[in-house]
Amino acid sequence: MKTLMEIIKSRKSIRAYQDKPLPKQVVKDILEAAKYAPTARNMQELAYRVVTNKDLMDKLSKGIAEALQKEGLPLKGPPGVRPSFFYGAPLLILVIAPKDNNWAATDAALAVQNILLYATSIDLGACFIGMARFIEKDKELCKLVNIPDSRTIAAAVICGYPAENPEPREKKQTAEFFE
């Protein structure tokens, strides 16, 4: 069994996935890992939108691309052959929170980190998808994933069986010690 430090050090963003769904129990376990993250003042106001429907994921990805284009922001990849923002993953989890929760982004990031580490521990790939916040720009898409006006997409993560094994990215550390 891997130690926690080994899991932390072996986690890396995976951006290619096998076309294979995750068993329901695995999805439940992933959400269970998220549930145990700390939240500011123990408010526990995060909610999850769990997307496994491929057509819906495609719609959401296209919506992100359109929102980026409208705002004049660059799209990655060669024109016309841009890959999905979800890289073909079988699972997308949107972490939503009330817009009036000042700690939403922090709470959500901690929940996603739990997911990333848990996924790594069971040899799944995963990746934080910050771009998913652009889904909010399209009210119709929000309806499709049941995000009311009062809530924001605070973070998002994809997960699945990896179809790549990239080199771990170099990590830097800046620390000053006051002893």
Give the number of other CB atoms < 10 A from CB of residue 135: 24
Shortest Å, Cβ 70 to ligand FMN? 17
**Binding residues for ligand FMN, per CB under 6 A?**
12-13, 15, 127-131, 169
Cβ proximity to ligand FMN, 15 vs 54, nearer residue: 15
| CB of 62 closer than 8 Å to CB of 86 | no
- Ordered strands of the 91-98 beta sheet: 47-51, 91-98, 151-160, 125-128
Residues 6+ apart with CB under 8 A from 73: none
Shortest Å, Cβ 24 to ligand FMN? 26
Cβ proximity to ligand FMN, 46 vs 129, nearer residue: 129
Shortest Å, Cβ 90 to ligand FMN? 16
Cβ proximity to ligand FMN, 39 vs 61, nearer residue: 61
Cβ proximity to ligand FMN, 83 vs 148, nearer residue: 83
Shortest Å, Cβ 25 to ligand FMN? 26
Task: Please give the backbone phi and psi of residue 118, each rounded to the nearest 5 degrees, phi first.
Answer: -65, -45
Which residue's beta carbon is nearest to the bound ligand FMN? 130
Shortest Å, Cβ 12 to ligand FMN? 4
Q: Provide the H-helix boundaries in the chain.
A: 4-10, 24-35, 54-70, 104-121, 139-144
Look at residues 35, 140, 12, 40 and name the one whose alpha carbon lies nearest to residue 95.
Answer: 35
Indicate the SS3 state at residue 75: coil
Cβ proximity to ligand FMN, 28 vs 102, nearer residue: 102
User: And the tokens for 147?
Assistant: 């995000």
